[in-house]
Structure formats: structure tokens, C-alpha cells
Amino acid sequence: MLTNPAPANRIVNMNDRLCIRNGRLVLRERIEKNKSLFMARGKIVDIAKNTKTPLKEFKTIDARGLYVSPGLIDIHVHGLFADRIGRLEEDDLRRMCGQMAKAGITGFLATTVSLPTQALLKATNTAKSFVKNNPDTNLLGLHLEGPYLNPSARGAQNNNYLRIFKADDLKKIFSAADGLIKIMTFAPECKNGVKLLAFLVKHGIVPAIGHSQATYKEVKECAKKGLKHVTHLFNAMPGFDHSEPGLIGAALDLKRLTFDIIADGIHVHPASVKFVIKTKGVDGVILISDNVYKMRLPDGRLAGSVLNLNQAVKNVMKFADIDLQDAVKMATINPAKLLGIQDRKGSLQVGKDADIVIFDDNLKVKYTIIKGNIVTPLL
């Protein structure tokens, strides 16, 4: 319970002082009880025993019976961003940020779909303006999913907008983004795909392979050249074959690659989720929602999910028979490492951003705290 709660539908500025008491802290390797978490100026400043009494200027949350976790980070979520990308306004992003916070997400990458350059430029410019005007937002940047994908593995991507990489085309978008683009999903086996990989590495963008029919050998060669990540393992790629392991085999085998997975029990069978986590290890796996608020196209093809990331954490505990702290890692520190922001986000440590989610035993979110500000109410 929050002392002196604010009115509904507001982000509460806690005047730089906030203490969470009596909760169960979800740390990277264990759960700790009887600890208090102190925040000031948007940072975690102390983790102490409950016997330490906060000064009176601290607002206090009593998290008794609840878990106190690092805020969740979703690196692949479409949401309102995909639905309105060509006519996106800042109010759309504001609504999306609120929806993400309700699921305990303190950081996310708004993810595009394959569209003409002008539509992508519109979305990029709007996102850049929004982040500039809202420095405490949970929008961390953009993930470009396409348009340089393999038409034979396009999934729900619009075939009319898939195209061959041309540097001038992408330079316009990168220039407009001014550093906001963090990940790009592409198919390196397509024409100019290896050139695109070099382009992404040069510009400091995380290169992710997806919607691809690359062979195991092709993926291995790309990994040597800077490929880092595999987008929604199993989906929009050929199945594993004993004579051609392909992208799935490479994702599981190559230590240089991490992968993300949609743990809704529909995109990937729970047994497959368990298998790949046990094979790769928790540290190599990232949970994503790929949320688009719809499931299938009229022809029956899967078109993203309606999954929220807190539900994915709950699901993967059951699917893979793993502890809460391991499931949380796949939605916090692992994506933070991929984005290179693990020094300030992804775990409960002194000096890191005060990005925190408080949830119950069913992973139902009670409070989301973004840079020391409580987003309320959530329910």
C-alpha cells in the first residue's frame, strides 16, 4: 500500500524519495526477503534490511506479500505502433506507453512492420519527438522489423513492401532517428543482405536475423561478421532438419547468438520452449510479447500475439520448469545486455535506474515504477 497515493490516471512524481518495504526482492540469482529498497532522483540508492527506517521525506510502499522485481524490458512489441504507423501521433505513443506500464514494462522498443520509406520516416520522426518531450518515458527506442526480409518467410509482413536493401533508403531513416533505432530484423541471405549486416554493425544497431530461410552455414558466417540475435525463434523460419539445422540449429548452437521467443503456448509449443531454454541456457534467451492485439490474419496465419510480457514470465516458469528469478532474467537483464544498457537497467542494484515492477504470486502487476515515478492506477 502506498502512503499518500495520488489521484487516478497520473504518473506520480515521488519528489525524488521512495522506499519499498517488506517485499520479496527478485535478484539475479535469488529471492531475498526482509529488505527495503530506497530510491532517490530516479536511481536505486540503497538496498538495506527492513530494520533501516526511511526518513520522513520518503514516500513508502508496503509490498508485504508481493515480489519486487526489476522492470520488464520488451524488445519486440508492435501494439498501437503497428496499427497506426503511417499516421502515428504522439498521443498514440503516450497511450502505448501506458499500456506497456500496465504489464510491468519499464522499457520497450516500439517495433515497426515492413512499410514504404515515407511511412517509416513518419513513425521515426514522431517517436523521436515524443522521447524528446517525455524524458521519463518507458519507450527506449525502435526495432525495425523489415522491410529487408525474405518473401518466402514473410509471415504476416506485407509482401508489397518487402524490398532489397539500398543504403540511401536506410540512411534517411537512420538520420531521422538520431540514435533511436536499436535493433533491426532482416534476412541476410537475400540480395545485399551481407552489406546490410555491415551497415548495421557500422551504425551500432543490433543486427537480428528473422523472417529468414538462411542455412546454418550462412548464419554462422554472419555471426562471425557481427550478427547478434535471432528474432522470434521458430516463427517465420524453416523447421529444424537433421541434414540442414538452419536458423534454429544455429541459434541453439552458436554462442555468439541470443534469441527471443514468444512464450504464449501458441506460437511455440510449451515443450519446445522448455527444450530450447534447457539447450541454450537461461542467459541466451529473451522473452518478447510481439504484441499486436490480434492473433491471426484472415487466411489463418499467425500475426503477432496478444501476450503481455508479465504473462510470458509466468508462462515460461511453467513451460520450462524454472524459478521466478530465471524467468525474470529473460525479460530484464538479458534484453538489457543485448541493448548494451545493463549498466543502468535490468537488475536491482544500487546506482541503476529505479525501474521496478511489483507483482503478486500470479504475476499480476500492482505497481510499475519508471525512473522513480509510480504509474498509477494499474488496475
The full set of domain ranges for the chain reads 10-70+355-376, 72-339
| Fold for the domain defined by 10-70+355-376 | Urease, subunit C; domain 1 (2.30.40)
CA distances from 300 to 130, 171, 234, 303, 304 (A): 35, 36, 17, 9, 12
Q: Is 361 a catalytic residue?
A: no
pTM of full prediction above 0.85: yes
**Rounded to whole angstroms, how far apart are CA atoms 216 and 251?**
9
- Report the pLDDT value the prediction gives residue 86, as an integer from 0 to 100: 66
pLDDT at 251: 98
pLDDT number for residue 5: 42
Sequence-distant (≥ 6) Cβ neighbours of residue 243 within 8 angstroms: none
Residue 160: DSSP 8-state: G
| Strand arrangement, sheet containing 105-111 | 72-77, 105-111, 139-145, 181-186, 206-209, 229-230, 258-262, 285-288
Residues of the chain falling short of pLDDT 50: 3-12, 14, 295-296, 379
Q: Of 290, 326, 353, 355, which is the active-site residue?
A: 290
Which pLDDT score, from 0 to 100, does residue 53 have? 73
Give residue 34's pLDDT.
84
**Pair 206, 182: CB distance under 8 Å:** yes
How many Cβ atoms are within 10 Å of 325's Cβ, its own excluded? 18
pLDDT given at position 82: 62
H/E stretch holding 312 reads helix 309-320
Contacts of 262 (CB under 8 A, 6+ apart): 232, 235, 268, 288, 289, 290, 305, 307, 312
> Whole-angstrom Cα distance, residue 234 to residue 284?
15
pLDDT at 302: 53
> CB count, 10 Å around CB of 225?
12
Cα distances (Å, whole numbers) of residue 354 to 1, 3, 24, 29, 37: 18, 19, 16, 19, 10
Q: What element of type H or E holds 83?
A: helix 79-83
pLDDT given for residue 87 in this prediction: 76
Instruction: Specify the CATH number of the domain 72-339.
Output: 3.20.20.140
Q: How many whole angstroms separate alpha carbon 329 and alpha carbon 315?
A: 14
Q: Judge whether 322 and 371 are in contact, CB under 8 Å.
A: no
Q: Are 260 and 291 in contact (CB under 8 A)?
A: no
Using DSSP, state whether 127 is helix, strand or coil. helix
